[in-house]
Structure 1
Amino acid sequence: MAYIALYRQWRPQDFEQLVGQEHISTTLKNAITSNRIAHAYLFSGPRGTGKTSTAKIMAKALNCLQGPTIHPCNACDSCKRIIDGSSMDVLEIDAASNRGIDEIRELREKVKFTPVDGRYKVYIIDEVHMLTTEAFNALLKTLEEPPAHAIFILATTEPHKIPATILSRCQRYDFRRIDSEAISGRLLKVLQEMSIEAEPEALGVIARFAEGGLRDALSILDQCIAFSGDRITVEDVRSMLGLAGDEWLEHMRGALLQRDVAAALGYVQELISLGKDARQVILELLVLFRDRLVESSAVTPAQESGCVEDGMEIMQLLSDAAQEAKWAPYPRIVLEVAVIRICRRGSAQDMAGLAARLEKLEAMLANKMIVQPAHRSPDRAGRAESIPPAPAIPASPPVTPAPPSTAADNKQNSIPPKAEPPQHLEELGERILAELLKHNKRAIHTCLSEGRLLELNGEQAVFGFQLAIYKERIEKDDYRGFLEKLVSQMTGEQRHIKCRLVSDTAGEGPGAPPVEATAEDAVVRHAKEMFGEKVVTIVNNNKGEEK
C-alpha cells in the first residue's frame, strides 16, 4: 500500500480532534444540536488551520446514519464515503482550477437534484476567492435561495477578495493561527503513536517554524522522521530546515550589540557557507532580539531602559531587512547591509540629531532674516539715514481750554486712549511676524511684512500699508480672522484688525497721524524700492503737471 503523508493520516475526523479552533467547533456543535443549520458558511483563515477538515466533519455530522449528530461515527457507509472522497452527496470543488462561469452554471444545474444517500448535499468550494466576477454573479442567486437539501461551505485564505454580496449571504467563521504549544502537543501525540522519540526543543522549533499551521508542522515532522529515524534532535531539525544554531545566533547578537562590523560579517560569511538562508537568519535574529527584549523589560525595566531602546532600534532594522529580503534577488546583500546599519546605529542617530539641529538653526535664521526687513527696505533705510529715529517721547498736545467734564468723558478717561510707545509696537509687530512663521502662515506673513503696526488702542490694532494690494488681502475674512485671534492671544485682550494706506511706515510714530497715500505715490515708491533709481520729477499725465 502506498505511503500516506502524516497530515493526511492525522486529519481531524470529529470536532474534538480539531486543534486550536474551539470557538468554531463549539458554535457548529450547538447549531447542529439546536437544528439551526445555515445554508451557506464561509471558513476563512491562514493555511493549515483546519478549514477543509472542519467542512468535511460538518458534512459527516449532517449525513451520518446516526445523525444529525455532533459525534459522527466514522464507521457507517456515509461517513466512510465522505472520508475517502467517494460520496456523491459531498462535492469538493477547487475554485482555483474551476473558476469560470461554465463550472458554476453546471453546479447550478446539479444542485436541484436531491441527495443520493444522505440528508444533505454539501458543496465544499475551496479557495473560493479565485472565482471570477462572472462566476460569483452566477453563484449569487443560488447561494441566496438554495434548495432545502443543499448546503454550501466556502473556504478561503483571502476573504477580502470575496464580493460583499457573497459575504452577506454566508455565516462567516474565522480560523485562528494555532499557538506553538498546541502544535507541539499534537506532534508529541503523533510521535507517541508511532513510537518515535523527539527532544521537546526540537518539537518547539518545528512548531515555531510552521507559523501557526498544523498541516505545515506535520509535513515538517514527516520530513524530520525521514531524516533522523527513530530519534529527532534539535540539531537535526535545524540542519534540515536550514536554521542557524543557538550558538551562532548568540555570537552574532553579541557582535551586533558591540558594534563589531568585522566579526558580524564574519559570522554571516560562515552561516552562508553552511547553506543557511539569509532571510531565515534575519528572522531568527529578530526572534532572538525579541525574546531578549521581553526578558530584559520584564526583569529590570528601570535599569534596562537604554538597552530596551537599543533593542527596539535593532529589531526595527531587522524587520525592515526581512521585508526587503523577501523580494530581493540577493538576500545575502540585504543581510550584510542590515548588519552594517545595526553596527553603525549610534552614528546614524548622531547624524540625525545634527541634521535636526541644523534645520532648527536654519529656521531661526530664516525667521530673523524675514522679520528684520519687514518695516524698512534697504533703500528706505539708506534714505532715512540722515534722519534719526524719533525718540519715544509722546508729543505734548496743544493747550486748549478743557470742556466741562461729563459722565461720558469720565468713562472714556477710565481707559486711556494713549497709543503704545513705538518701541513696544515695533517689538509686538516682530513677535506677530515670528508667530505667523511658527504657525506656518507664510502667506499672511508675506502680506503683513509689507506694513507696520501703527496703533494699539482699545479694541483695535491698526496696521498701515503702502500698497493697497496688501491692505486688501489682510482685510479678507480668512487673513483678518486669523490675525485677530493671534493678536488677541498675544495682547491678552480682544482686538479687531483695522488697515489703512499710509505714505511711509518707516519712522512714523503712533503719536502723529498717518499721512494718507495716493495710488501714484505708492506706485512710484514701490518702483524706487524695486529698481533703486532716484526720482528727478514725477509727471501727472492726467493733469499735465510736474511735481
Structure 2
Amino acid sequence: MKKEKYEILARKYRPKSFEEVVGQKHVVQTLSNALRLGKIGQAYLFSGMRGIGKTTVARILAKALNCVHGPTPTPCNECEFCQAITKDRAIDVLEIDGAASRRVEEARDLREGLQYQPLHSRYKVVIIDEVHMLTPEAFATLLKILEEPPSQIVFIFATTEAHKVPKTIVSRCQHFEFKRISQKDIVKHLAYIAHEEKISISQEGLFLIAEAAEGSLRDAESILDKAVSFAGNNISLDDLRVLLGTVPQKLLFEVSKIIFNGEAGEVFSLVDKLVESGYELINFYHQLIQHFRKLLLAKSLANFQDIIPVNEEEYQRYRKEASDLSGEELLRYLNALLKEEGPLKYSFQPRIYLETILVKLCHFGRLVALEDLIKTLAGEEGSKSGLLEAYSGEREKSFSPSRTGFSHPPSPGDLTSPGKAQRKGKRNQTFSLERESEKVMPTPAEKQDDTFLEKKPEKADSQQPGLKKSSHQVEVNKETTPAIHSFSPTTSSSFTPSPSPLLSPVSSSPLTPPSSSKSSVSPSASSSLEAKLPPEPSRARKLKDKLLAQALEDPQVQEFLEIFKAQVLSVQPLSSWSPKSSSQGIKAKESKKGVKK
C-alpha cells in the first residue's frame, strides 16, 4: 500500500477563507465589505513582515472573485474554480515570483498576455510576490496598464519592503499593511492545531514557541512541526528549550540571585557553564532581559499571568524575588541590560563583554538612592531647599576666579607668580633707560634732536604709546631723550644698546650675553654715557639710521657677521655717500684684528 505523502502543518492549516485568517481583522473586514458591495479595486498592495498572511489573503481574494457563487466574501472552496486555485492549477490566476521574474522583458510579456480575456474564470488575477525586487524598467512597463487596466484584470502585489516600491506604483494601488500577529493569537492557533493533530503540549510550551516566532504564524507552525519530529506527540517544556536553545528558567533565577547579592566572583563560573553547555550567549542575554521584565511586571502588577502565561510555581517565585527590590532598582537593572544589548551583539569578544556586563550589575547594589543621599547630606533638621542652596553656593564657588588665587578678576598688580615677576622685572630693566630720561627735563640741545632709536619688545606697545615700529623693527620716539646707538644681529635683525662704537665679537661684549636676544642698560650707565657723548644733529642721526637699516638687510653684511660672530655697534657715513655705496661705510672689528669693508 502506497504511503500517503506528509503535508507540513503550515500548508495543511493554511486559511482557505477570510474567516480563518489570523490576526488581520482590518484587512479581512475591508475586503469582505468591498466584495459584498461590488467595489472591486483594480490593484492591491499587501505589505508586512514574513509569515503573516499576505499571499494567503491574495489567494482567498482570487477565490472570492472567481467562485461560482461570487463575487462573494465567503468562497465555497468546493467548486471547480476554488479547487483549482487551492491546488495552484488555475489558468487565469497568475502567481509570479518578483525575485525570479524581475526583468523588463518578462514584464513586457506579461503586459502582452493581459490583453486577452480570461479563459474560464470571471477575472484574470495577477499575483506578484516580492514585487519590490522588480527592476525600475519593469515597474515602468507596468505603469500604464496599472493606471487603466482592462475591466477583467485584478493585480495583487505582495512585499515585505513597501518602501522599495516606487511611489507611482503605490499610488495606483489600494495599500493594506498587515500587522505582526500577537502572541495570544499565535498561542490560540497553535492550541487548535495541537488539538487536531493530537499533540500533547503545555500552555507554557505554546507560549515559548510563540515568543520564538516573533509575530510570524508560519514560523510558529514550523517550530511546532519540528518539535513533533524531535519529541513526538508528547512535547515537554525541556524538549522545547533544548530544541530552541533557550536557557532553563532555573538558571535565569540563579543569575538574578548572583546579581542581587553582588557576588561578582560567581559570574565567571556561571558564564563558563553557559559556554560549556553550548548556549548562544546572545540568546541567553535576550532571555535575561525577558527575565528582568517579568520581575518588573511582578512588582508592578497584581497578576501578570494575563500578559505572560507562566505556571504557578514560577509565578510565585517571581513575586517573591521582586518583593525584595523596589521598582526603581528593577528598572535600573533592565535599562542597563537594554543599553548593552547592541554592543554585545556586535562584539568581537562576546564572552568577555558579557562577563563585564554582569559584574557591573553585581555592583549596582552599592549605589545609594538619590533620596537617601539628600537625607544624609541634609541631616535630620535640614531640608531639600537648604541642600539645594548649599549646592548652588558650592557651584558658584567652584566656578569663581578665587579658585586660581583671586577673589576678583586678576589685574597686573595681582600677578605674584615667580615667572610673571621675572618677566615683569626684565621688562622694567629693559626700559629703565627710557623711564629715567623721561624724569629729566631735556636741554635745549637735546630738544633739537628729533629721533631716538630703541629696541623694545612687541608686548610693550600698549605701554609706550610714543614708540612706532618700522619695517626693520626699528622704533622712533620723538619725545624721549636720545640714547646710545648700538646694535646686535639676531634672528629678527634686532639690536641692543652698547657703549662701544666699534664692531666687536659677541663674546667680548659686556652688555650682550650670547644666549640672550635681549639686553638692557642700567640707569646709572646710561647717565654716564649721555654725559660723555654730546647729542648729534638730527639730520646726521637720520642718515645713520638709514645706513644701519640698509646695512643690516645686506646679505654680505649678514654673512660677514655670521662668519666672524660679530655685531654692529655703530655706522659712520663716508664723505661721498650714496645708496649703492652704503655698505662701504661700515666699520668692523674682530676680537683682536680690525677688518674694514
Matches within 5 A, 1:423-462: none
Q: Name the counterpart of 1:74.
A: 77
Identify the residue that residue 391 of structure 1 maps to in structure 2. none
| Preserved contact between residue 297 and residue 304 of structure 1 (Cα < 8 Å) | no
CA distance in 2 between counterparts of 1:30 and 1:83 reads 23
Check 1:121–1:296 CA distance in 2 against 1; reply closer, same or farther (3 A cut).
same
How many matched pairs?
396
Contact 1:321 1:334 in 2 (8 A): no
- Hey, what's the Cα distance between the residues in 2 that align with 1:340 and 1:290? 20
> Once the two structures are superposed, what CA deviation does each residue of 1:480-533 show, in whole Å capped at 9, x if it has no partner?
xxxxxxxxxxxxxxxxxxxxxxxxxxxxxxxxxxxxxxxxxxxxxxx99x8368
1:378 matched to 2:419? The reply is: no
2:401, 2:199 → 1: CA distance? 79
Confirm or deny that 1:49 pairs with 2:52.
Answer: yes
| TM-superposed deviation, 1:135 | 2.4
- For 1:316, the equivalent position in structure 2 comes to 335
Hey, what's the Cα distance between the residues in 1 that align with 2:330 and 2:415? 61
Deviation at 1:61, TM superposition (A): 0.6
In the alignment, structure 1 residue 368 sits paired with structure 2 residue 401: yes
Is 1:538 aligned with 2:438? Answer: no
* 1:151 is the counterpart of 2:184: no
Show the counterpart of 2:95: 92
Which residue is equivalent to 1:209? 212
The letter of the residue matching 2:333 is I
Structure 1 unmatched runs, 5+: 384-526
**1:108-127 to 2 correspondence within 5 Å?**
108-127=111-130
SS of the aligned residue for 1:2 comes to coil
Deviation at 1:120, TM superposition (A): 1.1
1:30 is aligned to 2:33: yes
Instruction: Give the structure 1 partner of residue 522 of structure 2.
Output: none
The alignment status of 1:247 with 2:250, answered yes or no, reads yes
- Tell me if the contact between 2:258 and 2:264 (Cα under 8 Å) persists in the aligned partners: yes
Q: Write out per-residue CA displacement over residues 138-175 of structure 1, whole angstroms, 9 at most, x where no aligned residue.
A: 22222222221111111112212222222222111111
**CA apart distance, 1:22:** 1.3
Using the TM superposition, give the Cα deviation of residue 307 of structure 1 relative to its aligned residue in structure 2, in angstroms.
2.8
Partner amino acid for 1:98?
S
Contact 2:58 2:127 in 1 (8 A): yes
Q: Distance in 1 between matches of 2:109 and 2:241?
A: 49
Q: Deviations over 1:222-243 (max 9, x none)?
A: 0111111121111111111111
Q: Distance in 2 between matches of 1:51 and 1:213?
A: 12
- Mapped partners of 1:109, 1:337: distance in 2: 64
Q: Which residue number in structure 2 is paired with residue 505 of structure 1?
A: none
Aligned residues of 2:260 and 2:365 also touching (Cα < 8 A): no
Name the amino acid aligned to 1:213: S
CA distance in 2, matches of 1:176, 1:42: 14
Counterpart Cα distance in 2 of 1:59 and 1:328: 48
Is the CA contact (8 Å cut-off) linking 2:461 and 2:467 kept in structure 1? no
Q: Which residue of 1 aligns with 2:163?
A: 160
C-alpha distance 203-381 of structure 1, shift in aligned 2 (>3 A): closer
Paired residue for 1:106?
Answer: 109
**Which residue does 1:341 correspond to in 2?**
360
Query: Are 2:402 and 2:408, in contact at CA under 8 Å, matched by a contact in 1?
Result: no
**TM-score, with length taken from structure 1:** 0.65
Question: Structure 2 length as normaliser, TM-score?
Answer: 0.60
Cα displacement (A) at 1:268: 2.4
Q: CA deviation at 1:63?
A: 0.8
Checking the alignment, whether the CA contact within 8 Å between 2:262 and 2:363 is kept in structure 1 is yes
Amino acid in the other structure paired with 1:315: L
- Secondary structure of the corresponding residue to residue 546 of structure 1: coil
Mark the CA change 1:340 to 1:117 in structure 2 (over 3 Å): closer, same or farther.
farther
How many angstroms apart in 2 are the aligned matches of 1:116 and 1:86?
A: 13
Return the alpha-carbon distance in structure 1 between the equivalents of residues 463 and 137 of structure 2. Answer: 81
Distance 2:143 2:403 in 1: 66
Contact 1:125 1:153 in 2 (8 A): yes
Name the CA distance, whole Å, in 2 between partners of 1:544 and 1:321. Answer: 71
Change (3 A) 1:109 1:313: farther
- CA–CA separation in structure 2 for the residues paired with 1:369 and 1:38: 79
Residue 319 to residue 116, structure 1, CA distance change in 2 (3 Å): farther
Instruction: For residue 362 of structure 1, report the CA deviation from its aligned partner.
Output: 8.9
Alignment of 1:219-234 (within 5 A): 219-234=222-237
Aligned equivalent of 1:20? 23
After superposition, the CA RMSD in angstroms is 3.6
Rounded to whole Å, the distance in 1 between the matches of 2:167 and 2:406 is: 62
Percent of aligned positions that are identical: 37
User: What is residue 180 of structure 1 aligned with on the other side?
Assistant: 183
Aligned-pair distance for 1:265? 3.1
Q: Shift in Å at residue 257 of structure 1?
A: 2.3
Of 48, 62, 65, 1:62 maps to: 65
Give the letter aligned to residue 175 of structure 1.
F
* CA distance 1:332–1:166, shift in 2 (3 Å): farther
Q: Which residue of 2 aligns with 1:169?
A: 172
Distance in 2, Cα, partners of 1:13 & 1:536: 100
Partners of 2:186 and 2:217 within 8 A in 1 = yes
- Deviation string, structure 1 residues 28-86 (Cα, Å, up to 9, x no partner): 10000001111111111121111110110001110112211111111111111111111
Q: Which amino acid aligns with 1:267?
A: L
Task: Evaluate the alpha carbon distance shift between residue 229 and residue 276 of structure 1 in structure 2; reply closer, same or farther with a 3 A threshold.
Answer: same
Tell me, yes or no, if the aligned pair for 1:140 and 1:166 is still in contact at 8 Å: yes
1:369 CA drift (Å): 6.8
- Contact residue 466 and residue 477 of structure 2 kept, 8 A: no
Q: Distance in 1 between matches of 2:42 and 2:396?
A: 66
2:479 counterpart letter in structure 1: E
Question: Is the 2:66–2:123 contact (alpha carbons within 8 Å) kept by the matching residues of 1?
Answer: yes
